[in-house]
Amino acid sequence: MADGTRSVRSLSASRSASSTASNVATSRESADISRRAATVVSSEVAAAKSKRPVVTAAPTTSSQSCLEDYFVGIQRIVDEQRRATELAKGQAEEQFQKDLDAKNSEVRDLQRQLRKRDEAELRLRQDLEAKDSEVRAQRQTYKEAELRLQQDLASKAAHVQELQAEMTNVQAHLDMISNIMKPRDAGSKRPRLG
């Protein structure tokens, strides 16, 4: 795009230089015509004031032709200036349109990049929310499992205590039976059963 812009500017500069050179040449030609016309007119005015015959380098038809050439030259200068102005205006409008199109293209690229960034941020946010929801669910599952384990352990501990109490009772009965079945001393009497 930069090469195209430089090419257009180079072409514009070349045309502007050519137009300037043409304008300079036309201006010189116009100045020459103006000098000749002024010489003829001043001669006629001076002759009219002194009431003497007009002495010119050329007859009256030549002065008329000189004036016509002068006005034709002026008109040609005006036309060339108009064409140069229209050409410069057209080139400026063309360059402005190219710059505007380039800016619009840059804006569209930025908008596409912003849309992609927004979409990526949305996907990332959704992924984070999904992960957070999954972590919360796992944490709740762990809490429930831990609670069940604690309840199970408490139940097991209570059952163990019950078993220990039963074993204590059984041991007490065994000790009592052992004492009953143990042989007495010679002087003692065996307790009478029943």
How many structural domains does the chain have?
A: 1
Please indicate, yes or no, if residue 192 is contained in any of the structural domains: no
Which range of residues forms the domain containing residue 32? 2-135
Q: With contact defined as beta carbons under 8 Å apart, do 26 and 80 qualify?
A: yes
Positive/negative CA dihedral, 150, 153, 159, 163? negative
Average confidence (pLDDT) over 97-123: 95
pLDDT digits (tens, 9 = 90+) for 120-177: 999 999 999 999 999 999 999 999 999 999 999 999 999 999 999 999 999 999 989 9
Sign of the Cα torsion 36, 41, 42, 48 reads positive
Amino acid identity of residue 16, one-letter, is S
Cα 121–124–129 angle (5° rounding)? 125
The pLDDT score that the predictor gives to residue 168 is 94
Residue 75 vs residue 34, higher pLDDT: 75
Is 48 part of any domain? yes
Instruction: Give a yes or no: residue 55 inside a domain.
Output: yes
In a domain, 154, yes or no: no
Task: DSSP letter for 124, please.
Answer: H
In a domain, 61, yes or no: yes
The reported pLDDT for the residue numbered 53 is: 46
What confidence tens digit (pLDDT) does each residue in 51-97 have?
544 444 444 567 778 888 888 888 989 999 999 999 999 999 999 99
Within-domain flag for 158: no
Residue 147 lies in a domain: no
Who's near 67: CB < 8 A, 6+ residues apart? 37, 40, 41
Q: Domain for residue 95, yes or no?
A: yes
72: closest CA among 26, 3, 15, 22? 26
